[in-house]
Chain A
Amino acid sequence: MKELQDLALYLEQGQAQKVIALTEQLLAASISPQRILNDGLIAGMAAVGEKMRNGDMYLPEVLQSAGAMQASLKILKPHLAREGAQSRGRVLMGTVKGDMHDIGKNLVGIMLQGAGFEIVDLGVNIPPEKFVEAIKTHQPSIVALSAMLTTTMLNMKSTIDSVRLAGLSSYVKIIIGGAPVNQGYADQIGADGYARDAVLAVDKVKQLLGISA
């Protein structure tokens, strides 16, 4: 459908006003909100992710697109709720105990939101017990842990151990990221996945949840 393709294109270009207007127009034409989300917004953000992956888009431009998506989602959400639409999954995220770095974590959150996931961001310096408590409260499909320091990355392991001890590890998949960690460390501490950057984090989450596109 051409209008949905246009919506994806406006989103890719970060044209928030056009994205809002077209979202309203499509709803008025009785196009399913789920279809607007999947074929317009998520498709547009997928193109943004691809451009970022190839080095063809800078972060401020990506964020402009993400902002346009948020504006459209604000309009779509009540319609999606009425239709009983399900989100692609909920991701709980935070920087582990002792670590105050959050730029990388925030980027991962923005890209995951752009891919249609619901984000619960606990913030920075999050102790293991707070992750456990938040898993019980929010029941996410994925937990994403971030660390920037060689002395705090060890708290990823203590967080994973706490989740396991609380008997929650069969309900969630845990992924890790941050400058000092790699796939080897993820394997060593029993994480389900590792991603080097925000774009690859989206791929990893989709892979873990069996989402193909």
Chain B
Amino acid sequence: MRHTFQTLAIPSRAGLMFGRSPRPVTCGFGLTLGNGAVFPELNFTLPTMALDEANWTAVVAQYEEIGSMIERAAPRLKLPGLVAEFELLPPMTEHPSWGAQITGILHQHLKKLYEEHGIPCALRVTPTDIRDVTKPPALRSGKPLDQLLQSFRECGSSGAHILSIESVGGKEVHDEALLYGDIDGIIFALGVLAPRDVTFLWERIVEICSKAHVVPGGDSACGFANTAMQLAGQGMLPEVLAAVIRAASAVRSLAAFECGAVGPSKDCAYEGPVIKAITGVPIAMEGKSASCAHFSPVGNVAAAMCDLWSNESVQNVRLLSGSAPEAYLELLAYDCRLFNAALQSGSGSEYQQLLVDSDARLSPQAFVLTPAATTRIASAIVGHKNHYGMTLAAAKEAVALLEEARASEELTMNVREIEWLARISESLEALPSDEGRIISLMQERYGHLFSHESYGL
């Protein structure tokens, strides 16, 4: 049964605080998230190596090594708790038993950590969305969907405590529209196609989680908003476009929570604060300590409302200090000590303000992630009757925030950014309010890229 959020779970910016959420989640081995502390979420991946049947023993050895490292490093760092995330690589989802085997190995290491050292912990597992192998993608039928759902089932029964995904429905249109800076296509992909696919997928994921007694975590607009963020970071797209996409992408990620996801949301879902404001669930975020995986202009502000603090992904390679995952676990541990010391001393709000102030003036993408902007974007989203209306409202609110910030000189933008902001605003205002009309318009422009069956259209 789909739940529609009509009001904000956290109605004021003052309530949006790291480490605290109105709907804490208890999972794994005695770990409660969002209940007054921030915990590290360590994410890791393979070094450069073949991932196939012939090399499988070596692949397994990598994850054994990482699991052993966590067991050793977590007590050394005196962690109050942690989440380890295993993001499957495509072949591990195509062969569900492969992903399940690694899940089982990591589960055993965390179990030992809890039993021998009393450190609360949980394992998040994220199968890869492999449904985009065909063009246009067949999202609602076929072998990749079967493999994906089977991967969820097998990981769920092999020891995952939280299941998540970075789903790709709508990306086939979004990618094209993004490159051309076509706002109509971007909003259509984010507000019409993507939420339909997220709903289809999460109705099934929630059911699988329920049967396996696993927490349905959340989805991420990584393939959409993070692609925009990376292209903007390389100077290929305006930052204001990436900022508006970030706000608009919250709606497609919210659809997972409408279907029963309960958090923690995915680390790469930088739209997480909006999800937290609307739903009250704990969120995972990543920023400065994820520079091992990618760069961003939101390194500090991204931490302002997090409940889990992640490194996104790091290869299991040697550094001078030790393994890269261990080095990043230490970074996250110190970040989290600071969050938690601030909360315990009653200085949470002051520390949060520093995290916000140090980034928000420097980038439109950072500006839309502040608690104040988050509250406004979340308020704009709730109450609309469909995802398209919600997405359009979020995008317009982001534009309004950026225009106000420019006018008040809270945010500095160059001429080209200002021109683009005006162009985005005009395009949004010209979009029809009726979903049927946008579907018909975009069918003409992008109909060759997507299949109607994949979205129940």
**A interface, CB within 8 angstroms of B:** 52, 55, 58-61, 63-64, 98, 100, 102-103, 106-107, 123, 125, 149-151, 153-154, 180, 197
Identify 20 residue pairs between A and B in the complex whose beta-carbon atoms are under 8 Å apart, listed by A's number: A55-B235, A58-B181, A58-B235, A58-B236, A58-B238, A58-B420, A59-B181, A60-B180, A63-B179, A98-B90, A103-B231, A123-B135, A150-B45, A150-B49, A151-B48, A151-B49, A151-B51, A154-B49, A180-B48, A197-B234
A150, B59: Cα distance in complex, Å: 13
Interfacial residues of chain B within 175-234, with CB under 8 A of chain A in the complex: 175, 179-182, 227, 231, 234
Inter-subunit contact B48/A60 (CB<8 Å): no
Instruction: Decide if B54 is an interface residue (CB 8 Å cutoff).
Output: no
Assuming the A-B contacts A100-B132, A154-B49, are A63 and B238 also in contact, with contact meaning beta carbons closer than 8 angstroms in the complex?
no
- CB contacts (< 8 Å) of B50 on chain A: these are 151, 154
Inter-subunit contact A60/B315 (CB<8 Å): no
CB distance from A49 to the nearest CB of B (A): 13
CB distance from A172 to the nearest CB of B (A): 25
Instruction: Decide if B46 is an interface residue (CB 8 Å cutoff).
Output: yes
**B interface, CB within 8 angstroms of A:** 45-51, 89-91, 132-133, 135, 175, 179-182, 227, 231, 234-238, 315, 416, 420
- CB contacts (< 8 Å) of A100 on chain B: these are 90, 132-133
- CB-nearest residue of chain A to B182: A60
CB distance from A52 to the nearest CB of B (A): 8
Inter-subunit contact B227/A103 (CB<8 Å): yes
Inter-subunit contact A154/B179 (CB<8 Å): no
A149, B47: Cα distance in complex, Å: 10
Inter-subunit contact B47/A58 (CB<8 Å): no
- CB contacts (< 8 Å) of A107 on chain B: these are 179
- CB-nearest residue of chain B to A197: B234
A150, B45: Cα distance in complex, Å: 9
- CB-nearest residue of chain B to A62: B236
- CB contacts (< 8 Å) of A64 on chain B: these are 180
- CB contacts (< 8 Å) of B236 on chain A: these are 52, 58-59
CB distance from B28 to the nearest CB of A (A): 28
A106, B176: Cα distance in complex, Å: 10
CB distance from B285 to the nearest CB of A (A): 22
- CB contacts (< 8 Å) of A197 on chain B: these are 234
Q: When the two chains form the complex, which single residue of B47, B51, B91, B181 contacts A60, counting CB atoms closer than 8 Å?
A: B181
Inter-subunit contact A58/B90 (CB<8 Å): no
Once A and B bind, how many residue pairs between them come within 8 Å at the CB atom? 58
4 nearest A-B residue pairs (beta carbon): A60-B181, A59-B236, A151-B51, A55-B235
Assuming the A-B contacts A103-B175, A103-B227, are A153 and B48 also in contact, with contact meaning beta carbons closer than 8 angstroms in the complex?
yes
A153, B48: Cα distance in complex, Å: 8
A60, B90: Cα distance in complex, Å: 30
- CB-nearest residue of chain A to B181: A60
CB distance from A102 to the nearest CB of B (A): 8
A55, B234: Cα distance in complex, Å: 9
A197, B227: Cα distance in complex, Å: 16
- CB-nearest residue of chain A to B49: A151
- CB contacts (< 8 Å) of A63 on chain B: these are 179-180
Given contacts A98-B51, A150-B45, A154-B49, 11 further A-B contacts (CB under 8 A): A58-B181, A61-B181, A63-B179, A63-B180, A100-B132, A100-B133, A150-B49, A151-B46, A151-B89, A151-B91, A180-B48
Q: When the two chains form the complex, which single residue of A60, A102, A154 contacts B237, counting CB atoms closer than 8 Å?
A: A60
A55, B237: Cα distance in complex, Å: 10
A38, B45: Cα distance in complex, Å: 47
A63, B179: Cα distance in complex, Å: 8
A58, B235: Cα distance in complex, Å: 7
- CB contacts (< 8 Å) of B238 on chain A: these are 58
Q: When the two chains form the complex, which single residue of A55, A103, A123, A150 contacts B48, counting CB atoms closer than 8 Å?
A: A150
Inter-subunit contact A59/B89 (CB<8 Å): no
- CB-nearest residue of chain A to B420: A58
A102, B236: Cα distance in complex, Å: 16
Q: When the two chains form the complex, which single residue of A52, A55, A60, A123 contacts B179, counting CB atoms closer than 8 Å?
A: A60
CB distance from B87 to the nearest CB of A (A): 12
CB distance from B49 to the nearest CB of A (A): 7
- CB contacts (< 8 Å) of B231 on chain A: these are 59, 103
A64, B423: Cα distance in complex, Å: 15
CB distance from A148 to the nearest CB of B (A): 11
- CB contacts (< 8 Å) of B49 on chain A: these are 150-151, 154
A149, B50: Cα distance in complex, Å: 11
Inter-subunit contact A103/B179 (CB<8 Å): yes
- CB contacts (< 8 Å) of A98 on chain B: these are 51, 90-91
- CB-nearest residue of chain A to B315: A150
- CB contacts (< 8 Å) of A61 on chain B: these are 181
CB distance from A42 to the nearest CB of B (A): 22
A103, B135: Cα distance in complex, Å: 14
Question: Which one of A107, A149, A151, A180 has the highest number of Cβ atoms from chain B below 10 Å of its Cβ?
Answer: A151
CB distance from B235 to the nearest CB of A (A): 4
A103, B172: Cα distance in complex, Å: 11
Inter-subunit contact B47/A150 (CB<8 Å): yes
- CB contacts (< 8 Å) of B315 on chain A: these are 150
- CB contacts (< 8 Å) of A55 on chain B: these are 235
